[in-house]
Structure 1
Amino acid sequence: MRKPPAHAPVPAPVSMPVIRLAVQYDGTMSATVDGEPLAPPVDEGVWRRGSFARIVDQVTAERMIPARVEVTEADGSTFTDIITATARKNTPAPDLPEPDPADAPRLLEVTGEGFVPGEDIAVCRIIRHTDAAATGTARALIDLAYDHIDTGDEVVLMGRVSGTFVVRSLS
């Protein structure tokens, strides 16, 4: 086996930050990034369950880099997820012509509670994903014009981190 020349660049290992959150029974959390403690904002004093999205956004530079998130609940249960990077575009949206009212989408709102603020929510029949609001609630708009969706169908909102399932009928 040949040795590379002394001037050859050494490839850097691929890594992503690991965020570990430990939730206490009172809803407070401790947070570490790559094993180092992450201090909460001075004015708040402690991390709370509702700080989940803020922690992830802070560590991932507003989701510009991926991160592994490991959550340990007070009861010992654990959840692990990879937060993927989101491509950001700084181009303004083009001006679109006004739609014909006959072509306007018919939307039905589906809501649920009990999600971790900021977590990714699967809308099943997996049509799209939505994010939980800062209050832990989720909202999805369903376009009833799709011929594969019937008003008798049920929709499931599934929290990817919390494991929360909310089942709603479209009727």
Structure 2
Amino acid sequence: MPKRDRSKRTDPTAVMVRIVVADDGTLTVSVDGAPYLPPEFSPPWRRASFPAIVDAISQQTGRTLRVDVIETDGRTITDFYTPRTPRKAEPQTSAAESSVQAASAAEPAPAPRLMQFAGSGMIPGEEVAVAIIIAHAESGPDGIARTLIDSRYLEHSPTGEAVLLGRISATVCVGQPQ
């Protein structure tokens, strides 16, 4: 029986990210106990910054993140994020393929046909996923999330329905955009 190759060991510990939500919707972020601040001259972190914060920390550390979000009412939401694997490079195209692609790129795309979809019950300012996840929206101060969806996406859905998913509240709204 062959022995395991132990030369490529990875650090099994997760990076601890703590995000505290203030009453005004700003976030205080720490990584392994050290403050993690927004870039210089940038506004304070807000709920909508959450994906950018997690992505940046994940890229910087290259390790699994344990993220604890402490809400204003004291609830703690914990999630784990694993680093993304790098995408494979695009295959090289020939000159003929490049000219065909350039010609098709020159044709104007049809204008989108937008439809609105709204759902309530979200935490004010939270990020809301729109499924088939084609975009993210942020709920307003009233907890209502609104998004515009290109109706061409709905042509691929047998029911013509869309889903809004509150990433923090776990609120799910299913309906037909109008």
TM-score by length of 2: 0.57
Separation in 2, partners of 1:64, 1:110: 38
Contact conserved, 2:18 with 2:30, CA < 8 A, in 1? Answer: yes
* Offset at residue 54 of structure 1 (A): 2.4
> SS state of the match for residue 48, structure 2?
helix
* Offset at residue 160 of structure 1 (A): 2.9
Contact conserved, 1:40 with 1:46, CA < 8 A, in 2? Answer: yes
2:126 aligned with 1:116: yes
Question: How many residues are treated as equivalent by the alignment?
Answer: 149
Residues 4-153 of structure 1: matches in 2 within 5 Å? 11-44=9-42, 46-61=44-59, 66-84=64-82, 85-91=84-90, 95=101, 111-112=117-118, 116-117=126-127, 121=129, 123=131, 128-133=132-137, 143-144=153-154, 146=156, 149-151=158-160
Contact conserved, 2:126 with 2:167, CA < 8 A, in 1? Answer: no
169, 174, 177: which is aligned to 1:167? 174
Could you tell me which residue of structure 1 aligns to residue 143 of structure 2? none
Amino acid at match of 1:83: Y
* Offset at residue 60 of structure 1 (A): 1.3
List gaps (5 residues or longer) in structure 1: 1-7, 99-106
Q: Give aligned-pair identity as a percent.
A: 31
Q: CA RMSD in A?
A: 4.2
Separation in 2, partners of 1:33, 1:23: 15
> SS state of the match for residue 61, structure 1?
helix
Contact conserved, 1:21 with 1:29, CA < 8 A, in 2? Answer: yes
Q: Going by fraction, where is helix more abundant, 1 or 2?
A: 2
Amino acid at match of 2:163: V
List gaps (5 residues or longer) in structure 2: 1-5, 105-112, 141-145
* Offset at residue 37 of structure 1 (A): 1.5
66 and 108 in structure 1: CA distance in 2 versus 1, 3 angstrom threshold:
farther
